[in-house]
Structure 1
Amino acid sequence: MFGLALKALDVTTMRRLSERVNVIPVIAKADTTCKDELSNQIQIYQFPTDDETVRAINTELNRLVPYAIVGSTDFVKKENGKMVRARRYPWGIVEVENEEHCDFVKLREAVLRTNVDSLRERTHKVLYENYRRSRLRAMKVGDGDTGPKMMEAFAEKQREFHEEMAQKEKEMRDNFIARVSMKEEEMKRREELNNMRAKEIAENFDDEMKRLETQIHNLMEEKVKLEAKAGKKIRK
């Protein structure tokens, strides 16, 4: 289906996010997505299967990824009288908590019940630790180094941060000044345009008044001539 497939940007974003957080792919509005959309392979969080107590459950949960989710805030009354959270369509309903319709129940089970501790542990021991080490490498500081070298690296980072903030502040100030200047120029152009229009209207008004005065003067002269001509006829 055109427009539904994962874009390259989506895949890249998920890969970058997986370095910072536990990524569990979810397909929203799964009732409008074809099954082919579920076949995209990407490096994502895998629920642990080393513990025998959750091995079977997590194996099934990993198989379902990415989870096809349908959400709704509405409750619908079924034919048997039971109220369920669902989305209504002309052809029927899609139930949020019906495992035959979507994977919402499985996702809830995976994240909030079965694997909440393992998610928290992986965030702390893997994701955070990898991030911490990468930052230390960027600062050219060895893991566990708390001596002068660490203080020098910290001071250097702090200096770079202040320089970056100062540069951003300058850019924001320059951008603000430029926008104000553009606005002032625009207002000035509008004022000049309004003045030109006002002057044009005033000139047109003066020209019209002069034309009317000329017409009135001509009419008065014509009236005087007609009255004089009429007076001569009466005397005869």
Structure 2
Amino acid sequence: QQADGDKSHAGDSTYVGIDAILEQMRRKAMKQGFELNLMVVGQSGLGKSTLMNTLFKSKVSRRSVQPDPEERIPKTVEIKSISHDIEEKGVRMKLTVIDTPGFGDQINNENCWQPIMKFINDQYEAYLQEEINIDRKKRIPDSRVHCCIYFIPPTGHCLRPLDVEFMRRLSKVVNIVPVIAKADTLTLEERDFFKQTIREGLRANGIDVYPQKEFDEDAEDRLINDKIREMIPFAVVGKVLELLFLYLRDKGYIGRSGKYLRYMTHMQNIKDITGSIHYEIYRVRRLNESNIDTPPNPVQANGVHAAQHEALSHEM
């Protein structure tokens, strides 16, 4: 039976119908919907909520509530998640924003990354337990953190020890996207110098942020990703982005369909790396701890991140 779009190929003996299969896959994906779990990390007052609400044109992130001075700063890092179902033109997405109030706000911030690392690994563990169940669900709920947006204060100088320590450790378990918060407080010269200094700091400390070079699948991917890498860390100003978007939309340069996914063209790639690299490393380590026979780890079989897997075992 031919799909609606196949009528033009009637009588063509060479027509296979691959485009019809792709259309079926697209319809199935749209029917199931998409899941995206974003974690935002940074000190209070850096505009995390503003950026999230601007990106998705909706109130998807809670603002800090400070009822009285004594309760303004949490004594330890907390983890707070808010989920939203966003639908547009028949496409549904469950967006979960994971906030980490209290991070970096203490006088002594030693080991403040640990609750965040534990939360990420807890989500991997929950997914693993569902996966190994005899009667596992047809579609396992995915609470794994797909991307961590790390907010760097606009000091204009260099990465702080806290920034280095957090990104060095967390880049081994999650996709890290570093951004310079409140970039409008810097001049253009200061911003460019700061971006270059941060890139040098990332290289010097072996911090691998998204998009990782090891996963450029072809020349086209490499070209696109190289352009993104040249912009890292991203300089963000929430309100300016919002005004720019409204201007472009009013002028007809962009349509409403780009409303909440206009900055997420790599969303599926981020999710793929989460599942095939970060979660896979965790899964193999946990199954090895349980003395369960597992097939060869494809990540290590390809020689990618084998050293990372060994280092991760020592750090957790």
Greater relative contact order (Cα < 8 A, sep 6+): 2
| Structure-1-length-normalised TM-score | 0.40
Question: Which of 1 and 2 has greater Rg?
Answer: 1
What TM-score does the superposition give when structure 2 sets the normalisation length? 0.31
Identify, as 1 or 2, the structure richer in strand: 2
Greater helix share, structure number: 1
